[in-house]
Amino acid sequence: MRARLSLAMAFTPALALVAGLPFVNRLEPIVLGLPFLLAWILGWVLATPLFLAAAYALARRDSGEGHSGAAGRAAGGARP
């Protein structure tokens, strides 16, 4: 279940950028001095790392790689 959620979170920004463009393609309103379309694209570009980080965290938790993963062992953790 988490795997599907992480995939959905990873694809959300790309889908919003591609599928949302016909609906937000207008000059008005002006957001922070930018046309709405440009503000939409900039917002999703800035939000993409947040979505990808959340998808990575969900996928990592789903695979069982808590603190005992490779990074944990490199930091001095014991191997299970």
pLDDT tens-digit profile, the chain (80 residues): 677 888 888 899 999 989 988 888 887 888 899 899 899 999 999 999 999 998 998 888 877 655 555 555 455 555 55
Q: Under a CB-based contact definition with an 8 Å cutoff, are residues 41 and 19 in contact? A: no
Tokens of 14: 């790309």
Determine phi and psi for 66, rounding to 5 degrees: -75, -135
Per the DSSP assignment, residues forming a β-bridge with 30 are 35
Q: Model pTM greater than 0.75?
A: no
Name the 3-class secondary structure at 34.
strand
In a domain, 80, yes or no: no
Task: Report the number of distinct structural domains present in the chain.
Answer: 1
In a domain, 15, yes or no: yes
Q: 41: closest CA among 3, 5, 13? A: 13
